[in-house]
Amino acid sequence: MKNGFTLTTEFMASPAEIYDAWLSSAGHGAMTGSPAKIDPKVGGAFTAWDGYIVGETLELGPSLRIVQAWRTSEFPEKAPDSRLEILLEGKRELGRFAVPVEPPTPAKAAELKAPAPQKPLLSMEVRGIVSFPGGRLAIVNDQIVKVGDRVAGHRVEDITDNEVRLRQPDGKPRFVRPPNIAAVSPAEGERQRGGIR
């Protein structure tokens, strides 16, 4: 598996429990902390991280083996899918989770180096922010979120009384305000957040 890699970890759960959770929309969402939709059969499509990852299940082995093709929303359009193979083994109480990731073929690898076309920003709408003892919640694109959650591939980094700070899939910050709060300049926004006195 040239240029591939393998990740291995252990869980205090049986291999069968991990297998079932991986192939379940509710279970996968609970493991990752973000919405997932899984069609748990060979040829079935799936999405994870609220649509940031998409793919298809290629094989389901009788010995707790899952093979999937997957890609993120950051893959160039012509880039081939990554191949993910999940091998579950171990005792009933302790599951070992090995994930070999196979790289694209050399012919396809060159396509990955081409710069991806700039995509327009996804529409992000904050409908409200609620403060309570211990934190804040926001409604972003009709999803109730807290700091650390993901919405449309964006990570919620901070929620203030008047805006939500997101981290886009490309790593850049993005600030979104409810419609009843006027937009401010970046310097004024920084001052309001306490960066400038």
Burial of 20 (0-12, 13-18, 19+ CB in 10 A): middle
Q: By the 8 A CB rule, do 65 and 87 touch?
A: yes
pTM for the structure as a whole: 0.48
Q: What is the pLDDT of residues 105-153, one digit of tens each?
A: 555 555 555 555 555 567 888 888 888 777 888 889 888 889 999 988 8
Which domains are assigned to the chain? 5-113 (3.30.530.20), 126-192 (2.30.30)
User: Who contacts 8 (Cβ-Cβ below 8 Å, separation ≥6)?
Assistant: 96, 97, 98, 99
